[in-house]
Structure 1
Amino acid sequence: MIEFFDRAGSEAAFCQDGRSLYLWNGKAAAFILDDKVYAYDGRFIGWADRGWISDEDGACLLFEHDAVGGPQKPQRRAKTTPGPRGARPSRAEPHDAPPRPSASLVWSDRVLSDLI
């Protein structure tokens, strides 16, 4: 299981199959197709690369423990057990992704749960 943490070092999301992203409470949040992250309604959310989930502008939303590059990672806080995985909604046809921005060294002002 891949665990993702937010800019405060708190548990935020997890992925067990490399394609389905769940919020820590178990709610199905998004899916990863190639290196792009989409909400289940097909909206483009951001990018998955080098252990980071970034927003559409390239600013970092989440990191996994061995993420490479990006902004300074906070110390990870003690984590709880993730919630049971909820049902995944049907996937809508993914919208076109914008051109990929350069890798960023800044944190996004956005929160993944607000983007879904």
Structure 2
Amino acid sequence: MEEIDFYDKVGQPIAYSQDGVHIYTFPGALVAYLDRGCVYSYSGKCLGWFEDGWIRDTSGECVFYTQHTQSGPIQPEKIVSPMKAIKSVEPIKAERSVPPIKPIRSSTWSKISGMEFFKR
């Protein structure tokens, strides 16, 4: 699987996935995982969706883009990704909540960005 870097609305690299499932910050914190297109926190909360190279919030607005992003709002030039730190140990996953109804995809940037997305 190709590594995926996730960039915020100013082109700052915030997180990455090396296996298409686990999402780490560049300092090495494991912050979320992907399951059937949904982005989950380890507390089991659906944070949003990953499709067409975008991570979108639960309102359908764009939070992160990748090198594979299609359509959506204009993406700024990417800032060079920092070195990756040693990864943290994977915590036990809580039972996943039922994801909310998937909203219509928006072509606007979310007001939620960067690490704020993963801390909700």
2:87 counterpart letter in structure 1:
R
Q: Number of aligned pairs?
A: 116
TM-score (norm 2): 0.91
CA gap 1:112/1:10 in 2 versus in 1, 3 angstroms: closer
Aligned residues of 1:29 and 1:113 also touching (Cα < 8 A):
no
Q: Distance in 2 between matches of 1:74 and 1:102?
A: 23
CA RMSD of aligned residues (A): 1.1
Residue in structure 2 matched with residue 60 of structure 1 by the alignment: 62
Is structure 2 residue 53 aligned with structure 1 residue 46?
Answer: no
Q: Is the 8 A contact 2:9 2:113 kept in 1?
A: no
TM-score, structure 1 as length reference: 0.94
- Structure 2 residue 90 is the aligned partner of structure 1 residue 109: no
1:92 pairs with one of 87, 91, 94: 94
Secondary structure of 1:100 counterpart: coil
Structure 1, unpaired ranges of 5+: none
Amino acid across the alignment from 1:92 = A
Structure 2 unaligned regions, length at least 5:
none
1:66-92, Cα deviation, whole Å (9 max, x unpaired): 200111100111222122211111111
Percent of residue pairs bearing the same amino acid type: 29
Residue pair 1:71, 1:106 contacting (<8 A) in 2 also: yes
